Amino acid sequence: MNKDKLLKEILHNKELKEKYWNDIEVENINLNTLYRLADEEDNDYLKYLYVMFNNLDSTKNRITQSLTNLF
Amino acid sequence: MKNYIKSIQLKNWFNFLGDYSENNFEFEPGFNVIVAANDVGKTKLHNAFRWILENKVILRKEDYQDDEAAYEAVSLNEKNIVKILNNKSYNAASVNETIRLGVKVHYVENSNQSKERILIKEIQIRKEPDGLKILTELKSVKKVERGNVLSTSELFEDWVKKIIPKNLRSFFLVQGETLDTMTPLKGDNLKRTLTKFVDINVLDKFLKTSNYASNKIETLRQDYEKKDNQGQEKLEQKIQEKTELENDIKRLEDEIEQYYELKEDALKKKSKWEKSFLKSKENRKLKNKLDNYEQKIENKNSKIEENYFRLKENYILNEFYFSKVFNINTQKEKLENSINFFKDIMSKRRSEIQINLDDHIQSMLYTLEKSQPKPEILERMIDEGKCYVCSHNLDNESKDYMKNILIPYFKGQLENQDDKFLDLYDEVHSLLNDFRYHQNRYETPNFNPFDRVIERINEAETAKESIEEEKEQFIEENGDSNVKTNDELSISTYENASRDLEKYETHIKNISGELEIKKNKLNELKNLRTEDGEELKESKNTLKAKRLEEFSSDLRNILVSIIDKEYNEFKNQLEESANKNFKKLTVTNKNLNAQSVKVDYKLAFKNQPDFEVKIVDQFGNNMSDGGGAAQTLRQLALVFGLIDMVDRVRHPFIADAPTSNMTANLAFTFYEKQLNSSPNQNIVMTKEFWDDQKNDLNSKGNELLDNIKDNQNSTFHIMTADKKIALDQPDLKIDEL
């Protein structure tokens, strides 16, 4: 499973969608457009997802910094 | 088209003595079987593939326990190289001579464009007096173009990965004796093997990142909560301060409102009484003027009265003066008598002195008496025999006189005969003083003191009349008795109202100032959380962290479910694929064919998958404990199930004795199946088709050979001791070196 497929699985997960991005159209979202959507919608959960995908190969310090930047 | 190994060549590799050209095996892209008896070199040939592809060889352990595997995959080193190097080449070499052993694999890749490469791997060894020393290991890749072998800078390892990728080697490079350990059916080894085939790399990374992020978010949330608590205390202080300010402002506003009311009342009162106040004030002014006149008249009356009194007093005093003048005359007469008496005494004494003393002494004593020196001074003068007054020397007579008369006299030690004189002296003295006083005071008394007083009385009467006239005129002009009781009331009411008004305005001004300060302070605090739940910035962060914490937890659960789903899908595919192979492999055995492969899966500790491959009968009973052929079939079914599932590139399958535990029929079925339906190249070494007694192929071998002859993509090799040397020599042992 690649990143894009995983992102789709997560974005379309019924439980997550209803709870965290119910009113947001995520049909055509991919890794390149995720952050723009999260920013436009000001949705912290999508931003958090972006941080996760963007830091899969990052150091712990880098992940910490990215998470801290969410606040 | 498929990728395949075109040939393998060996140099001094185990019992394969000589150069590459002497030990050459050619293969076709399809099924290739190498049949040989035991110890001819099947496993050694298979090890050549393993050394190229995995940099390891499988060797029998020196010492092993019964409960552990007899073989292990090891890298070549100076200790075990002696087992791999052909012993004849070793024996033929002299000490310090370099010997080479190596393997060449000719590989054909059929992707878009066919590529042929020869992978060469060699070790240079030097024979030492006490053993072998590995000098270098050489790896190279040659490309074959239009029959020409050319050098290339391509990496050896890159091509090794292309022949069989690392994660597939357990299934494409199979060794019969180690099939159980290389292809386990349960436990950690199976888990490790199978997880290589499930592409959860991204999922796994995501889960790890998510786990770390969850912990971090939790830490952040705790930090924010800590800050909140600290901020909360400050906030509570500020809320209290705000409440106090609000109360103060309310109180001050009430107070100022009251003062405004009072001011309004005072203004009304002042306005109401203003007219009467002005009138009354005018009245008061008139009254003051009249009062002033009255006061002046009163003053004049007082002056007149005072002068009348003085007149009376003076009269009395003048009577006194007359009586005093009379008294003075009497005393004057008395004084004269006393002075005469005193003069008598003095003349008598003087005559006494004149009789007894000469003139000089008398003069001196007279002077002394006049000066009346202190007795102590006189005594000192006697001692020194000199008069301090006139500086004359004193004779004895004078000294006696001074000692016996003057000193006692001055010391008051004279006899009482002079007391009468002294009393008289005192009396004269007193009379003189009295006389001097009275004489000064009454010598010229004013016998006409009344005139001045009467004059003053007349002046005062005149002034009084003038003032009374002025007053009358004033009354005539302005009227009399204008000041009434009401005037006092209006004046005091008006003035009180004015004072109150001023007082209230001061209060209002002060309170307004205080109110402004407090309102400004309140304004600064207006961004605080109010009672209806507005949050501080820190609290927003805490809430955000809590929301993300919850999301992170949900996300992880979803991830685990996705991972679980992935493994389940893989498990189902594997089960189906393995079962398909199992059915094909057991087609000739009714009992076994009735059974099937079952793959159990569950997500265990730390989201790690746990697999077990079982054989079950038609009723679902576990038949896995049988061992032997069934066990091997189960493994082969798993191996080919996996190969079918994952191998889209079609890598060569290179196996040594994969069917060693099977019956001849089952083994034949396997090879027939591989020959007819395997999409991969198969290079299989086996002894199942060799008859040791006849030293030739058995009937199944011949049958297979006949089938292969009809298939151009397949080869059939028979490896015998006379064909490949070294059958007659045992493997070298370290202790023989």
Condensed to tens digits (0 to 9), the pLDDT of residues B307-343 reads 888 777 766 665 555 555 556 677 777 778 877 877 7
Average pLDDT, integer, range B432-442: 69
* Residue-level pLDDT at B532: 40
* Residue B507 distance to chain A (closest CA, Å): 51
More confident residue, B371 or B529: B371
Chain B residues lying within 8 Å of A57, measured CB to CB: 205
Look at residues B460, B497, B87 and name the one whose alpha carbon lies nearest to residue B264.
B497
Contacts for B660-663: CB closer than 8 Å, 24+ residues apart: B660/B176, B660/B177, B660/B632, B660/B686, B660/B687, B660/B688, B661/B176, B661/B628, B661/B629, B661/B631, B661/B632, B662/B629, B662/B632, B662/B633, B662/B688, B663/B629
Q: What is the mean pLDDT of chain B?
A: 81
Instruction: Report the distance separating Cα B293 and Cα B473, nearest Å.
Output: 11
- Residues A5-32 have pLDDT tens digits of 889 989 999 999 999 998 888 888 888 8
Look at residues B46, B71, B183 and name the one whose alpha carbon lies nearest to residue B636.
B183
Q: Please determine, for residue B736, whether its predicted confidence score (pLDDT) is greater than 50.
A: no
Nearest residue on chain B to A71, alpha-carbon basis = B541
Instruction: Report the distance separating Cα B291 and Cα B293, nearest Å.
Output: 5
Cross-chain residue pair B558–A10, CB shorter than 8 Å: yes
Provide the pLDDT confidence category of residue B137 given band limits of 50, 70 and 90. very high
* Residue B619 distance to chain A (closest CA, Å): 36
Radius of gyration of chain B (CA): 77
More confident residue, B326 or B471: B471
Chain A interface test: which of B553, B554, B556 (most A C-beta within 10 Å): B554
Chain A residues lying within 8 Å of B209, measured CB to CB: 52, 55-56, 58, 63
Chain B residues lying within 8 Å of A55, measured CB to CB: 209
Cross-chain residue pair B202–A2, CB shorter than 8 Å: yes
CB-based contact B88:B726 (threshold 8 Å): yes
CB-based contact B542:B225 (threshold 8 Å): yes
CB-based contact B121:B11 (threshold 8 Å): no
Using alpha carbons only, what angle is made at residue A49 by residues A46 and A50, rounded to the nearest 5 degrees?
Answer: 90
Cross-chain residue pair B551–A20, CB shorter than 8 Å: yes
First-to-last alpha carbon distance for chain B, in angstroms, is 48
Average pLDDT, integer, range B439-447: 57
DSSP code at position A62: H
DSSP code at position B9: E
Instruction: Report DSSP letters for B469-497, one per residue.
Output: HHHHHHHHHH-S----HHHHHHHHHHHHH
Average pLDDT, integer, range B394-416: 74
Provide the pLDDT confidence category of residue B53 given band limits of 50, 70 and 90. very high
CB-based contact B392:B404 (threshold 8 Å): no
Cross-chain residue pair A3–B217, CB shorter than 8 Å: no
Identify the contact set of chain B against chain A, taking CB-CB distances under 8 A: 199-200, 202-203, 205-206, 209-210, 212-213, 216-217, 220, 224, 541, 544-545, 547-548, 551-552, 554-555, 558-559, 562, 566
Residue A3 contacts by C-beta under 8 Å, 6 or more apart in sequence?
A31, A53, A56, B202
Provide the pLDDT confidence category of residue B193 given band limits of 50, 70 and 90. confident
Q: Please determine, for residue B90, whether its predicted confidence score (pLDDT) is greater than 80.
A: yes
Residue whose pair of structure tokens reads 């009781």 in the numeric block: B485
Of B220, B544, B554, the CB nearest to A44: B544
* Residue-level pLDDT at A25: 86
Look at residues B411, B447, B192 and name the one whose alpha carbon lies nearest to residue B322.
B447
The residues that bridge with B173 in the sheet, in sequence order, are: B654
CB-based contact B256:B512 (threshold 8 Å): yes
Nearest residue on chain A to B208, alpha-carbon basis = A56
* Residue A16 distance to chain B (closest CA, Å): 7
More confident residue, B527 or B266: B266
Determine the 3-state secondary structure of B294 from DSSP: helix
* Residue-level pLDDT at B534: 45
Chain A residues lying within 8 Å of B213, measured CB to CB: 48, 51-52, 63, 67
Cross-chain residue pair B554–A15, CB shorter than 8 Å: yes
Cross-chain residue pair B562–A56, CB shorter than 8 Å: no
- Residues B489-527 have pLDDT tens digits of 888 889 999 999 999 999 999 999 999 999 988 888 776
Residue B79 contacts by C-beta under 8 Å, 6 or more apart in sequence?
B734
Residue B261 zone, left/alpha/beta (φ > 0; ψ -120 to 50; rest): alpha
* Residue-level pLDDT at B111: 64
Residue B368 contacts by C-beta under 8 Å, 6 or more apart in sequence?
B378, B387, B389, B402, B406
Provide the pLDDT confidence category of residue B200 given band limits of 50, 70 and 90. confident
* Residue-level pLDDT at B160: 94
More confident residue, B369 or B478: B478
* Residue B159 distance to chain A (closest CA, Å): 25
Average pLDDT, integer, range B680-704: 88
More confident residue, A1 or B721: A1
Q: Please determine, for residue B727, whether its predicted confidence score (pLDDT) is greater than 90.
A: no
Chain A interface test: which of B214, B535, B558 (most A C-beta within 10 Å): B558
CB-based contact B555:B207 (threshold 8 Å): no
More confident residue, B345 or B21: B21
* Residue-level pLDDT at B32: 93
Instruction: Report the distance separating Cα B442 and Cα B434, nearest Å.
Output: 12
First-to-last alpha carbon distance for chain A, in angstroms, is 31
Which uninterrupted H or E stretch holds B311?
helix B201-356
**How far is the CA of A49 from the CAs of A43, B139, B300, B552, B556, in angstroms?**
10, 46, 114, 9, 11
- Residues B55-88 have pLDDT tens digits of 999 888 877 776 666 778 899 998 889 889 998 8
Instruction: Report DSSP letters for B16-76, one per residue.
Output: B-S-GGGSEEE--SSEEEEEE-TTSSHHHHHHHHHHHHHS-EEEE-SS--TTS-SEEEE--
Residue B651 contacts by C-beta under 8 Å, 6 or more apart in sequence?
B3, B163, B164, B165, B168, B172, B680
Q: Please determine, for residue B673, whether its predicted confidence score (pLDDT) is greater than 60.
A: yes
Provide the pLDDT confidence category of residue B723 given band limits of 50, 70 and 90. very low
Residue B407 contacts by C-beta under 8 Å, 6 or more apart in sequence?
B375, B378, B379
Strands B682-686 and B31-36: parallel
Cross-chain residue pair B545–A55, CB shorter than 8 Å: no
Identify the contact set of chain A against chain B, taking CB-CB distances under 8 A: 1-3, 6, 9-10, 13, 15-16, 19-20, 44-45, 48-49, 51-53, 55-58, 60, 63-64, 67-68, 70-71
Cross-chain residue pair B544–A71, CB shorter than 8 Å: yes
Chain A interface test: which of B209, B540, B561 (most A C-beta within 10 Å): B209
More confident residue, B466 or B432: B466
Total CB pairs under 8 A between chain A and B: 72
ipTM confidence score:
0.96
CB-based contact A46:A17 (threshold 8 Å): no
Q: Please determine, for residue B531, whether its predicted confidence score (pLDDT) is greater than 50.
A: no
Which uninterrupted H or E stretch holds B600?
strand B596-603
Strands B148-151 and B131-145: antiparallel
Cross-chain residue pair B213–A63, CB shorter than 8 Å: yes
Strands B24-26 and B114-128: unpaired
* Residue-level pLDDT at B45: 93
Provide the pLDDT confidence category of residue B538 given band limits of 50, 70 and 90. low
Chain A residues lying within 8 Å of B570, measured CB to CB: none
Average pLDDT, integer, range B238-266: 90
Chain B residues lying within 8 Å of A52, measured CB to CB: 206, 209-210, 213, 555
* Residue-level pLDDT at B535: 47
Measure the CA dihedral B132/B134/B140/B142, to 10°: -20
Provide the pLDDT confidence category of residue B731 given band limits of 50, 70 and 90. very low
